[in-house]
Amino acid sequence: MKDALYALGKDAVDSLRDLLPIVLVIGVFQVFVVRQPVDDLFSLLSGGLLVVAGLACFIFGLRLALFPVGEGLAYSLAAKGSVFWLLAFAFVLGFGTTVAEPALIAVAAEASKVAAAASVIESTPEAIEGYAFGLRMTVALAVGIALVTGVFRILANWSLPMMIIGGYVLVILLTGLAPPEIVGVAYDSGGVTTSTVTVPLVTALGVGLASSVKGRNVMVDGFGLIAFASLTPILFVLIYGILAEWT
Amino acid sequence: MDLMINTLGFIAGSAIDVLPIAIFLFAFQRLVIRGPMPNRNQILLGFGFVVVGLGLFLVGLEQTLFPLGRLMAQQLTHPEFLLNGAVGTGSPLTWQDFYWVYVFAAAIGFSTTLAEPALIAVSMKANLVSAGAIGVWGLRVAVAIGVGIGVSLGCFRIITGLPLHYFIAAGYLVVVMQTIVAPKLIVPLAYDSGGVTTSTVTVPLVTALGLGLAEAVPGRSALLDGFGLVAFASLFPIITVLAYGQLAVIRERVSTSKTDHRDPEQEVDHAL
């Protein structure tokens, strides 16, 4: 009990450390550069506390539940050696963790509001929510497929740099075909997916796999999965944009 | 009262988000591994914390991080602020007039990255593995400089309205060329530092900053120009960390050329 409280407190300090530089920089700018009164200071400060409390609970919960189970499963499936179940698990892991990724929820919500304001989609709450949901599912699907590809690559021992560079060449080609309004969102979705939830679990999968397959380097192969997970969302969101334009 | 209902709504929403992964993990444990879930109560409690935490975070996000990013973008691009009150001089604004935006973007990118707990952990590990060749502070500062440059340059792109993919394509070209010449063992670390360092708190704030900028600068559309800051913030740390590795090689070369004739590249690889 005491240990758990200590761990929760440590997560709160970490979250506070994430927020503190933002508060400091914005504070300095408000006082010395902008020099204008800020409305709703109370609402901003209480919201900041909610961010810290929420992030602390979230990460504490992840450590208690998702990380041990995910890591345990990753290790036992890698040891079990069934390629089908390993690939299935990789897909589910990528898809499921990306759906619950807070940064992605945030960016998808903003993207849908902007799209509605520019009347790319209808300005009804249903249409906005539908667009945000579609975007999140597209990215989640992309990360799922990224992990399947990445795991398969570790098993088949394909060259990582060639695949990644090839992927980015494809990104540039698709950018030419995609409607311009999806390009920015697509590029951002690559960086968004690899944060709080996905990285630790994906690393566990890569490391578990690389250490149970002979002749694989733990450092290089564990990292390869993350590189795929930041590449495929760009591709998939671009394709999503191209398909949405056709229909 | 409104806040209460709002919060409960968000918590219910995040429960729906977390449910699929929870179900899948239990299903895999039962059907594939065919064993009971170890510490079931602890895991259920953990999922409870995840759901409540995600809900609270999203409320705070709507209430604070998004408005703050927008507010800063609006205030720093306000014509009165840019021209120091000399409104009506008639001269159109050029990208140089927005210099406080670049300073703010660089400061936010640099400071949030420097304080990022995940990066601190990675740096300590890299220091340990490299037997001191990669400094804890050196790596952290390299990544933070990268994110600062990235966000700042991203703001420049939004203000000028230049196409995003030119910058990204050029950036990855630089990365590919650096990869060829940089010491081999810094490469995975560098690639990793791209995505991992943009934290859950920074991403929403930076996104709101970009959208606010695109809305406030005349002639820009939020949809076409507002996104892309996160992509910049993930790309530039790769370049600066690779550069940090290259710098280490050069430093080594300078110091070894005075003493003896060992191969400096091999030396650093060995040290890493």
- Set of chain A residues whose Cβ sits within 8 Å of the Cβ of B227: 111, 183-185, 187-188
**pLDDT value at residue B151:** 93
Can you tell me the distance from the alpha carbon of B194 to that of A227, in angstroms, rounded to the nearest whole number?
A: 9
Tell me: pLDDT of B41 over 70.
yes
**pLDDT value at residue A139:** 94
Confidence of residue B124 (pLDDT cuts 50, 70, 90): confident
Tell me: pLDDT of A111 over 80.
yes
**pLDDT value at residue B87:** 52
Share of chain A above pLDDT 70, in %: 94
| Least CB–CB distance from A54: residue in B20, B57, B227 | B57
Can you tell me the distance from the alpha carbon of B113 to that of B158, in angstroms, rounded to the nearest whole number?
A: 22
Report the pLDDT averaged over residues A198-202: 73
**pLDDT value at residue A237:** 93
CB contact under 8 A, A184 and B227: yes
Can you tell me the distance from the alpha carbon of B210 to that of B18, in angstroms, rounded to the nearest whole number?
A: 29
- Non-local CB neighbours of B36 within 8 Å, separated by 6+ positions: B29
Confidence of residue A40 (pLDDT cuts 50, 70, 90): confident
Confidence of residue A11 (pLDDT cuts 50, 70, 90): confident
CB contact under 8 A, A103 and B211: no
CB contact under 8 A, A60 and B66: no
Confidence of residue B145 (pLDDT cuts 50, 70, 90): very high
**pLDDT value at residue A146:** 92
d(CA A130, nearest CA chain B) in Å: 14
CB contact under 8 A, A57 and B104: no
Contact of B46 with chain A, judged by CB distance below 8 Å, is answered with yes
Tell me: pLDDT of B128 over 80.
no
Nearest CA in chain B to A181: B224
Tell me: pLDDT of B250 over 80.
yes
Return the residue matching tokens 């998808």: A108
**pLDDT value at residue B197:** 67
**pLDDT value at residue B221:** 84
**pLDDT value at residue B200:** 77
Report the pLDDT averaged over residues A35-61: 84
| Least CB–CB distance from A57: residue in B49, B58, B208 | B49
| Least CB–CB distance from A102: residue in B57, B76, B188 | B57
Nearest CA in chain B to A75: B33
**pLDDT value at residue B181:** 86
Return the residue matching tokens 């259920």: B44
Report the pLDDT averaged over residues A61-89: 81
Confidence of residue B148 (pLDDT cuts 50, 70, 90): very high
Can you tell me the distance from the alpha carbon of B9 to that of A237, in angstroms, rounded to the nearest whole number?
A: 28
pTM of the model: 0.83
Nearest CA in chain B to A229: B195
Contact of B190 with chain A, judged by CB distance below 8 Å, is answered with no
Tell me: pLDDT of B141 over 70.
yes
Q: Average pLDDT of chain B?
A: 81
| Least CB–CB distance from A22: residue in B46, B112, B195 | B112
Can you tell me the distance from the alpha carbon of A125 to that of A132, in angstroms, rounded to the nearest whole number?
A: 11
Share of chain A above pLDDT 90, in %: 11
Tell me: pLDDT of B262 over 70.
no
Can you tell me the distance from the alpha carbon of A93 to that of A101, in angstroms, rounded to the nearest whole number?
A: 12
**pLDDT value at residue B268:** 52
- Torsion sign (Cα): B155, B156, B157, B161: positive
Confidence of residue B147 (pLDDT cuts 50, 70, 90): very high
**pLDDT value at residue A170:** 92
pLDDT (tens digit, 9 = 90+) per residue, B158-171?
Answer: 989 888 888 988 99
Can you tell me the distance from the alpha carbon of A139 to that of A145, in angstroms, rounded to the nearest whole number?
A: 10
Nearest CA in chain A to B48: A61
More confident residue, A185 or A32: A185
Largest CA distance in chain A: 63
Q: For residue B84, which phi and psi values (nearest 5 degrees)?
A: 55, 40
Tell me: pLDDT of A247 over 70.
no
Contact of B56 with chain A, judged by CB distance below 8 Å, is answered with yes
Q: Which of A170-179, B76-85, B138-147 has the lowest mean pLDDT?
A: B76-85
CB contact under 8 A, B194 and A230: yes
Confidence of residue B269 (pLDDT cuts 50, 70, 90): low
| Least CB–CB distance from A187: residue in B112, B192, B228 | B228
**pLDDT value at residue A245:** 74
d(CA B82, nearest CA chain A) in Å: 10
More confident residue, A204 or B72: B72
| Least CB–CB distance from A172: residue in B165, B204, B224 | B165
Tell me: pLDDT of A64 over 70.
yes
Contact of B151 with chain A, judged by CB distance below 8 Å, is answered with no
Both tokens of residue B195? Answer: 């995505």
3-state secondary structure chain B: CHHHHHHHHHHHHHHHHHHHHHHHHHHHHHHHHCCCCCCHHHHHHHHHHHHHHHHHHHHHHHHHHHHHHHHHHHHHHCHHHHCCCCCCCCCCCCHHHHHHHHHHHHHHHHHHHHCCHHHHHHHHHHHHHCCCCCCHHHHHHHHHHHHHHHHHHHHHHHHHCCCHHHHHHHHHHHHHHHHHHCCCCHHHHHHHHHHHCCCCCHHHHHHHHHHHHHHHCCCCCHHHHCCCHHHHHHHHHHHHHHHHHHHHHHHHHHHHHHHCCCCHHHHHHHHC
Rg (CA), chain B: 23
Contact A234, A173 (CB under 8 A): no
More confident residue, A81 or A61: A61
pLDDT (tens digit, 9 = 90+) per residue, B70-121?
Answer: 888 888 888 777 666 555 555 566 777 788 889 999 998 898 888 777 777 7
Distances, alpha carbon A108 to alpha carbons A233, B196, B256, in Å: 13, 19, 52
Contact of B198 with chain A, judged by CB distance below 8 Å, is answered with yes
CB contact under 8 A, B188 and A220: yes
**pLDDT value at residue B36:** 74
Tell me: pLDDT of A71 over 80.
no
d(CA B37, nearest CA chain A) in Å: 8
Report the pLDDT averaged over residues A214-223: 65
**pLDDT value at residue B153:** 94
Rg (CA), chain A: 21
- Set of chain B residues whose Cβ sits within 8 Å of the Cβ of A115: 223
pLDDT (tens digit, 9 = 90+) per residue, B203-222?
Answer: 888 899 999 999 888 888 88
Q: For residue A8, which phi and psi values (nearest 5 degrees)?
A: -65, -40
Helices (H), A29-159: 41-61, 67-80, 83-99, 102-117, 125-156
CB contact under 8 A, A191 and B72: no
**Can you say how many angstroms the Cα of residue B259 is from the centroid of all Cα atoms in its chain?**
41
Contact of B112 with chain A, judged by CB distance below 8 Å, is answered with yes
**Residue A32 DSSP symbol:** I
Per-residue DSSP letters for A174-208? Answer: HHHHS-HHHHHHHHHHHHHHSSTTHHHHHHHHHHH
**pLDDT value at residue B106:** 93
Can you tell me the distance from the alpha carbon of B137 to that of B141, in angstroms, rounded to the nearest whole number?
A: 6
Q: In a mutagenesis test of the B interface, which of A49, A76, A192 is the best target, namely the one with the most B β-carbons within 10 Å?
A: A192
Both tokens of residue A83? Answer: 């390629």
Confidence of residue A236 (pLDDT cuts 50, 70, 90): very high
**pLDDT value at residue B176:** 86
Tell me: pLDDT of A202 over 90.
no
Nearest CA in chain A to B69: A26
